[in-house]
Structure 1
Amino acid sequence: MGTAPTTPPIGAVTITSTHALVQLTGDLDVAVADRLRDALTTACESGRHVVIDMSQVRLIDSTALGALVRAHQHSKHDGRTLCLVRPSRFVVTVLHTMRLLRIFPIFDSPSDATAWLATVDRPG
């Protein structure tokens, strides 16, 4: 009798002094919607900018897309920015098709995103 397989984390969240990094993995669909919402809520409630590393995500469905949009709105309401890192071609196509591509700053790496966020926080 073996142990039951563990469910891999869909969104590991790391909070730093300047931002919350959410590292997403796998397919973002209805099967992982609750865990995705939990990870995004944790990041948004940190009071920091949110950087979402999507480099290990292949696809996204409407449920997950809705969660991303709500996280963006939550961050914006709090005066913070939500950035995406390395979304797949499929994810970019979905964002473009839904006319959402322009609301998410997109970067090649988490360090590129955090460097840009540092310039956003500078006064004048």
Structure 2
Amino acid sequence: MDETTLPQAFRVTLLPQQWTFDASPDQTLLLAGLAAGIRLPHSCRNGTCRACITQMTAGDIQYRIEWPGLSREEKQEGWILPCVAQPRSDITLDAPAATHIVNAPRPVVLQAPRPPDPMASDRDADVRVST
């Protein structure tokens, strides 16, 4: 299939969750997942850190960069970097670390205790003055 005949989108299936989302041929699998509310592990988004490394069990991809941070052996075993991989067919990924963004735990925001307001202090009311 050449670039001029690619469909509008391909179906991406994540295992073992059985979650699916669509990815257009000009979109990376990582960004398509995020747009669909699914977070794959990632960091650099340029194919060098390998935080997103995932095994593709079915499908065909094309990389946005010439040689992403994978060895020849890893490529032959089906490992891909979704941050720079664009679909060229329907894709199945073994992605047990993927999470639904809406179901992900919310970060805890800690706030420092507020200091007492010096103007609201009662300490002057307890002082007795003798004359």
TM > 0.5: no
Bigger relative contact order, structure 1 or 2 (CA pairs below 8 A, ≥6 apart): 2
More helix by percentage: 1
Q: TM-score, normalised by structure 2?
A: 0.28
